[in-house]
Amino acid sequence: MHDGSGRIHVQGLSKSFGQLPAVQNLTFTVHPGVVTGFLGPNGAGKTTALRMILGLVQPSSGTATINGLQFSELPNPAGVVGAVLDAHGFHPGRTANQHLLCYAAAMDVPDEQVDRALNLVGLKVAANRKIGSYSLGMRQRLALASALMGDPQILVLDEPANGLDPEGIAWLREFLKAFVAGGRTVLMSSHFLREIEHTADRLVVISRGHCVYDGHLDELRAAQSSRALVQASDPQQLTVKAQEAGFGVEFLPDGRLAVLGADSATVADLAAECGVALYGMRDERIDLEQLFFQLTNGQFSGGPNYGPSMPGQPPPPGQHGTTSTWGPGL
Ligand SMILES: Nc1ncnc2c1ncn2[C@@H]1O[C@H](COP(=O)(O)OP(=O)(O)OP(=O)(O)O)[C@@H](O)[C@H]1O
């Protein structure tokens, strides 16, 4: 029997296609009650990892379990996990209704589930239209309806926002938030942070097959949402003072200091306290897109108390009383 926890646990998962290491030693846990975004640039290995979780690709090494069991061991997989991996491949001559009735028969669930699923995804009005006339956004909704047919505890969605217009994305966000509010689980991939930043609570970020961030989105925002750039008369002394106050400091190539997670007023106070003169100051805010770029290019430099981003050096936010973890600086 599965443990009913609603958890997906990925441990040391790797997959190579010939010489190509598509996924490398991936370890993370997806928790119930929150939406977890699975983020990475094109080709990072997201789809391969999701397919391994769902038992569609055999890992080269490592394991992926859902409710404590591998997918193939789940006694009632459709009732545990619903998946959307591809919003294509529907028979264009069938209606959504017909498509889902086939699903119901194949999954041995009552036909009434068809109406329920169509209602849930807002496709009831188009239920008797041929799928060939559907927009990509409608196909995404139909794919989601298919995943919901078994009334699953967990949803695994590969790029579900792809093809949705802003209204569709807003709808998906509300749908997924309501889904997890009852204690269910969502793992959804995207290569576009903006697309999921208002939906996901937690993030697993991968780059070139490696995990580079696993933690709360809020924590990531806080980690490097701002820094103060200062030109100081005595950079060494100000560095010591800022570090004593708990801030990370970087030396920039132009001689300025970047005090991570601090604003210029705070740095001015610190400088005054240690008698260091400042010749120029600027607050810099880093938006999430830059943050994502830094993460996936190994340039992330942490926030308060984190050192510069040298491979093997940056302590993760998780080492400061949180649950985040870091992979190698790529
Ligand atoms: N069946 C396969 N055979 C050979 N190479 C593959 C196969 N599937 C994936 N790859 C390769 O593995 C790497 C990871 O691909 P994957 O589709 O998992 O990435 P992704 O993060 O989902 O990318 P995207 O966002 O573009 O879908 C890519 O270099 C891809 O070309």
pLDDT single digits (tens) 26-73: 999 999 999 999 999 888 999 999 999 999 999 999 999 999 999 999
Q: How confident is the model at residue 329 (pLDDT cuts 50, 70, 90)?
A: very low
Look at residue 328 and tell me whether its pLDDT is greater than 90: no
Yes or no: say if 257 and 229 are a contact pair by the CB < 8 Å rule. yes
Which atom of ligand 1 is the closest one to the Cα of 158? 22
Yes or no: say if 303 and 319 are a contact pair by the CB < 8 Å rule. no
Token pair in block for residue 215: 């933690």
pLDDT single digits (tens) 283-319: 987 777 777 877 787 545 443 222 233 232 333 333 3
Report the alpha-carbon distance of residue 79 to residue 149 in Å, rounded. Answer: 8
List, in order, residues 6 or more apart from 182 with CB less than 8 Å away.
none
Report the alpha-carbon distance of residue 330 to residue 328 in Å, rounded. Answer: 6
Bridge partners (DSSP) of residue 95 are: 130
Of 20, 50, 207, the residue with max ligand 1 atoms within 8 A of its CB, to mutate for a pocket test, comes to 20
pLDDT single digits (tens) 216-255: 988 877 765 688 999 999 999 999 999 999 999 999 999 9
Residue 20: CB atoms within 10 A of its CB come to 10
Tokens 């991996």 -> residue: 85
Single pTM value for the model: 0.78
List, in order, residues 6 or more apart from 8 with CB less than 8 Å away.
29, 30, 53, 64, 65, 66, 154, 156, 185, 187
Report the alpha-carbon distance of residue 35 to residue 114 in Å, rounded. Answer: 25
Identify the pLDDT of residue 193.
Answer: 83
pLDDT: which is higher, 176 or 327:
176
Look at residue 204 and tell me whether its pLDDT is greater than 60: yes
Tokens 């940056």 -> residue: 314
- The DSSP string of 96-158 is HHHHHHHHHHHHT--THHHHHHHHHTT-GGGTTSBGGG--HHHHHHHHHHHHHTT--SEEEES
Q: Atom 12 (ligand 1): residue with closest C-alpha?
A: 22
> Taking residues 84-94, what's their average pLDDT?
85
Identify the pLDDT of residue 246.
Answer: 93
**Can you tell me the ipTM of this complex?**
0.95
Domain architecture of the chain: domains with CATH: 8-200 (3.40.50.300), 220-314 (3.30.70)
Between the CA of 49 and the centroid of ligand 1 the distance, in Å, is 9
Q: Hey, which of 33-37, 72-76, 206-210 has the most confident mean pLDDT? A: 33-37
> Taking residues 260-275, what's their average pLDDT?
93
Q: Atom 9 (ligand 1): residue with closest C-alpha?
A: 48
pLDDT single digits (tens) 120-170: 999 999 999 999 999 888 999 999 999 999 999 999 999 988 878 888 888
Identify the pLDDT of residue 224.
Answer: 56
Of 15, 26, 47, the residue with max ligand 1 atoms within 8 A of its CB, to mutate for a pocket test, comes to 47
